[in-house]
Amino acid sequence: MSKVDQEYEKVARQISYNVANKVLPMDQLPQTLQEAYDGLFNELVADKANVFAQAWAALPASAQKLFTQAEFHGFYIANAWMQLSRVAQEIADSADSEEEMNNNEYDGVFGRLAEQSLKECLRKLKKARTDRSMFNSFKQVMS
C-alpha cells in the first residue's frame, strides 16, 4: 500500500485502539508497551509489502461492503497486536532468563503472527456476511 492518507490512518488507529481496549486497557499500558503498539501500528498500517491491500482487494464485494477498508485495517491491526502480546508473554513466561530468551530463535515470529492474524480476520469478515451475530460482534468491538 502506498502512503496512507491521514484520514485513513486516523480511522484505522481509532478502530484498532477501540478493539484492543476491549481486551487490554490501552490507557494503562506501560510506556514500553505503548511504544511497541505504536511501532506495530505504524508498520502494519504502512503495509509496505501490500499484503493487507492485496487481501482486501481479493475479498468479495459483499465482504468489502460491511466495513470501510480503514475500519477493517484497524480491526486487523488490533487482532495482530493481541496475538503478538499473548505470544510475547508466553515466551517471557517460558524463558528462565533474558539471556535464554535472547538465545532462542524468535526471528520471523512477528511476520507469521501478522499473517495468521490477517487470515483469521478475513475468515471472520467473510463469515460476517451471512452470520448476523458475527457482524454484530464486529460492530460492538469496533465501537
CATH number, domain of 47, equals 1.10.3440.10
Query: What pLDDT was estimated at residue 35?
Result: 87
Question: Per-residue pLDDT tens for 46-60?
Answer: 999 999 999 999 999
The grid coordinates of residue 46 equal 504502512
Q: Residue 7: which pLDDT band, with cuts at 50, 70 and 90?
A: very high
CA angle 83, 22, 118 (to 5 degrees): 35
In a domain, 1, yes or no: no
* Domains identified in the chain, total number: 1
Its pTM stands at: 0.85
In a domain, 89, yes or no: yes
- Domain extent, residue 33, equals 6-142
Tell me the CA distances in angstroms from 30 to 24, 37, 105, 111, one per residue in order. 11, 11, 26, 24
Question: Per-residue pLDDT tens for 67-111?
Answer: 999 999 999 999 999 888 877 777 666 655 555 555 555 556 777
In a domain, 48, yes or no: yes
Helix 69-94 / helix 51-58 crossing angle, nearest 10 deg: 130
